Amino acid sequence: MAQRQDSDSVISAGYDAERSISLFETDEPASGIDRVRSAVSLTKEAARAISITAIEAVREGALFMGVIGNRGQLVNPFRHIDAAIWTEPDVPDDMTETAYDYCEELTRREAGNFYHSFKYLPNLERRAIMAYYAFCRRADDIADGDYEDVFPGGSTDEPESVDYRSKIELLSPGRPVVERSAYNDKMSQLFYYRKKLSTAYGDITSTDPIFMAMKDTVETFGIPRQLLDDMVSGMEDDFHRNRYETFEDLYSYCYRVASTVGLVCIEIYGYDDQRAREYAESWGVFMQLTNILRDVAEDAERDRIYLPLDDLARFGITEEDVKSGKELLKHPGWKPFVDEYIERCEGYREKAFKLLPMLDRSSRYSPAAMASFYTSILKKIQKRDGDVFTERIQLSKTEKMVFAAYVYVRYRFLAL
């Protein structure tokens, strides 16, 4: 790989550093890589727009076809549009509602535990949360799955895409940890994903139903773009790093892929106390740390170890031990490591539950249900002495229903 360049010289090659957005007041300047990422935008001049006459046909198709195909599959109601944007100042309400329908159906099919925590929210908040879930789901599907996001007119070899991923690679620590063709393809898709995200903050609208719904959500709830950009950055980080030396390193990753989710959610739920941000950040860290412990075996098979290496080393556990699967259960240091790890998780869990009294009663159920589901998973791991190898730790459908009913009654109707 070419020697890394000074961040300012990279930025001067074509990205406007002044477009960087900060969520919190800080005296620290944005890093070079963050400025590259936050400068990505889509303009009227850079993409083909759908014509005014074509929009009428699209509206009729959306109204009569909906988002479920004749074989019960989820379908993009705007899939026949070969243009990237809609330039009229206002998108017709029926199109926006159809876009939300698409996000809700996607969530129902793919959200698992999350869907049960979303469905009892007030209508406005429920639709917004499901649009946001769809945004996160598709980004994850691109980065960690085989989903191919189509951007009209975009390609892996398009000069702007090549320029973007070249800058990100130069500013990232180490070489990409995925095969080169996969790296180019996925980084290109996430570049165009950022392009579509920029339309939620501009005067044009993406013809992708997820971003059409997200634009309405962003405008309704005032969600800062940096939170959404950071989540996509966390997905990109997975292409550049598959080991974490310290917990501090891991925390930064957890913030991007999970704490930003908590911070977006509370913007939708609504809060009055500024401490809610701190607790929402902890809520995300708690759930991500739980995910990491549950998925140790699956991640190790893909040569990914998210557990902090220095913490493992204190218990005499090596990378090869983690990759050994069930053999790790025989290691004398594994159970003590898991006990300490779970204790750390529970510290973030305690802070996460402090968030609930700061939210309106109508919205408390959703984060309470999610935290309760993950608490149960953590308890199962501890009860099994850290055996996350024999079978995947998860809740049964009956357990989900019982937890959902209990949490709904407690946090919707009873005093905390």
CATH number at residue 372: 1.10.600.10
- Contact criterion met (CB below 8 Å) for 263 and 280: yes
Identify how many contiguous H helices and E strands the chain contains and give both numbers: 19, 2
Q: Are residues 346 and 399 in the same domain?
A: yes
pLDDT at 11: 33
Task: Report if residue 344 sits inside a domain.
Answer: yes
Q: Are residues 271 and 181 in the same domain?
A: no
Task: Report if residue 20 sits inside a domain.
Answer: no
Q: Are residues 92 and 216 in the same domain?
A: yes
Neighbours of 132 (CB within 10 A): 28
Q: Are residues 273 and 156 in the same domain?
A: no
pLDDT at 373: 85
What whole-number distance in Å separates Cα of residue 96 and Cα of residue 214? 10
Domain boundary among 188, 222, 256: 222
Handedness of CA 228, 109, 111, 406 (dihedral sign): positive
H-type helices in 302-394, by residue range?
309-314, 319-323, 334-353, 361-383
pLDDT at 244: 97
What whole-number distance in Å separates Cα of residue 92 and Cα of residue 100? 13
Domain boundary among 222, 253, 276: 222
| Structure token pair of residue 174 | 């180490």
* Total of domains in the chain: 2
Collapse the DSSP code of 334 into the 3-class scheme (helix H, G, I; strand E, B; otherwise coil) and give the result. Answer: helix
Q: Are residues 117 and 207 in the same domain?
A: yes
Task: Report if residue 112 sits inside a domain.
Answer: yes
Q: Are residues 89 and 172 in the same domain?
A: yes
pLDDT, tens digit only, all 416 positions of the chain: 333 334 333 333 333 333 333 334 444 556 789 899 988 998 877 777 765 555 555 555 555 457 887 788 898 888 877 788 888 778 888 889 999 999 999 998 988 667 777 877 899 999 999 999 999 999 999 999 889 998 887 889 999 999 999 999 999 977 899 999 999 999 999 999 999 999 999 999 999 999 999 999 999 999 999 999 999 999 999 999 999 999 999 999 999 999 999 999 999 999 989 999 999 999 999 999 999 999 999 999 999 999 999 999 999 999 999 999 999 999 999 999 999 999 999 999 999 999 999 998 888 888 888 888 899 999 999 999 999 999 998 877 677 666 666 666 666 655 55
pLDDT at 367: 87
What whole-number distance in Å separates Cα of residue 51 and Cα of residue 107? 30
6, containing H or E segment: none
H-type helices in 222-259, by residue range?
225-237, 247-254
pLDDT at 1: 38
Task: Report if residue 156 sits inside a domain.
Answer: yes
User: Domain residues for 65?
Assistant: 33-222
Task: Report if residue 1 sits inside a domain.
Answer: no
Q: Are residues 99 and 247 in the same domain?
A: no
Q: Are residues 192 and 68 in the same domain?
A: yes
pLDDT at 173: 79
Q: Are residues 250 and 211 in the same domain?
A: no
Q: Are residues 52 and 150 in the same domain?
A: yes
Q: Are residues 182 and 291 in the same domain?
A: no
Task: Report if residue 234 sits inside a domain.
Answer: no
Q: Are residues 127 and 198 in the same domain?
A: yes
Task: Report if residue 126 sits inside a domain.
Answer: yes
pLDDT at 372: 85
pLDDT at 4: 36
